[in-house]
């Protein structure tokens, strides 16, 4: 009996396959050849079930930022029966004018060797071999995409499986600003990576509304219940959750001064816009963002809003007190 392929492994195999092809792969080739789909097909899953799985996986990867292209019929672009799918390799290529010193190249080669062994599973390699055998032009995959999928919070695998199986969960959650956790009963619909942190988007049964929860604020274990829910609720959930986070972040804009060339300038610059006094950075959670800013030390200074500045100052004062032994 073949080993069960986890949804995460299936996503990785799909990314490898879509990055490795220039002309794109048809849905039929993907469902027949990519690890995870192939095993499900061989175990008797229906064509409809496999197609729904593929549609959910596409949505999940797009929510992670993977630019999946759909190449349709040029004569009839709306006809997707023979559509081909790919992830453009140019999205992950370095600019041509970037140069590295010999020492930098040595470090990159060492890191690449480690990543190549950890980010590409045997199943992913097998999927590439089978796709080659089918006549699909496949190059070696771009290494390093996997860590953005596989790095996760302790609650991640339980929530991932609950979403896949369409069952509700319960967990203790510490809301920002609260000192006591509350039990949340949630129908989990999608896992979303946002600002390098994982969130679960779902229906809060108590509020009877869609809510987003930061995984790092889950206290203790996630409990999977026996209560199922309609799998159709998952359709479009990743996009709705991301839009909600985008809207919330745009209502919370920080003005930050950063020292050029520092880690703070690099990391914050990726999600900021220039300002006269520094940079504007949108954020979702003032406490989580304060943790990040405090970790940069003197490299970043909060100009506004005041509540964010106060939270960063508190963290720096606690760190200083621990260092000189005055902390209680």
Domain boundaries, the chain: 7-89+97-146, 152-230, 252-324
CA distance 252 to 283: 6
Residue 93 is predicted with a pLDDT of: 59
Kindly report which listed range (84-93, 109-118, 288-297) carries the lowest average pLDDT score.
109-118
Percent of the chain with pLDDT over 70: 73
- Looking at every residue in the chain, the average pLDDT score rounds to 79
Cβ atoms 158, 222 nearer than 8 A: yes
Residue 12 is predicted with a pLDDT of: 82
pLDDT digit string, tens, across residues 30-70: 998 888 888 888 888 888 888 888 888 888 787 666 778 88
Cβ atoms 24, 199 nearer than 8 A: no
- Give yes or no for residue 121 having a pLDDT over 70: no
pLDDT digit string, tens, across residues 208-242: 899 999 998 999 999 999 999 999 999 889 889 98
Q: What token pair was written down for 172?
A: 């203790």
The neighbouring-strand residues paired with 281 are 254
The neighbouring-strand residues paired with 76 are none
CA distance 88 to 22: 7
Q: Which CATH class is domain 152-230?
A: mainly beta
């Amino acid at each position: 009996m073949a080993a069960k392929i986890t949804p995460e492994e299936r996503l990785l195999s799909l990314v490898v396959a879509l990055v490795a092809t220039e002309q794109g792969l048809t849905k039929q080739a993907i469902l027949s050849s990519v690890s995870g789909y192939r095993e499900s097909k061989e175990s008797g899953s229906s064509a409809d079930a496999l197609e729904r799985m593929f549609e959910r996986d596409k949505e999940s990867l797009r929510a992670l930022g993977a630019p999946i292209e759909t190449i349709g019929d040029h004569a009839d672009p709306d006809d997707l029966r023979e559509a081909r799918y790919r992830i453009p390799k140019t999205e992950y290529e370095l600019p041509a004018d970037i140069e590295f010193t010999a020492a930098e190249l040595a470090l990159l080669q060492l890191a690449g060797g480690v990543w190549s062994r950890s980010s590409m599973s045997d199943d992913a390699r097998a999927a590439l071999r089978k796709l080659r055998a089918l006549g699909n032009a496949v190059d070696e995959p771009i290494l390093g995409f996997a860590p953005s999928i596989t790095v996760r919070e302790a609650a991640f695998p339980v929530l991932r499986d609950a979403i896949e199986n369409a069952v509700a969960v319960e967990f203790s959650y510490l809301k920002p600003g609260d000192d006591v956790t509350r039990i949340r009963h949630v129908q989990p619909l999608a896992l979303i990576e946002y600002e390098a942190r994982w969130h679960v988007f779902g229906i809060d049964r108590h509020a009877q509304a869609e809510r987003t929860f930061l995984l790092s604020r889950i206290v203790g274990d996630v409990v999977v219940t026996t209560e199922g829910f309609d799998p159709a609720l998952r359709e479009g959930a990743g996009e709705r959750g991301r839009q909600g986070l985008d809207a919330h972040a745009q209502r919370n804009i920080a003005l930050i001064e950063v020292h050029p060339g520092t880690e703070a300038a690099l990391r914050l610059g990726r999600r900021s816009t220039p300002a006269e006094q520094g940079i504007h950075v949108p954020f979702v959670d003032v406490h989580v963002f304060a943790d990040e800013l405090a970790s940069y030390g003197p490299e970043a200074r909060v100009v506004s809003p005041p509540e964010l500045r106060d939270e960063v100052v508190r963290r720096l004062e606690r760190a200083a007190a621990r260092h000189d032994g005055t902390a209680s």
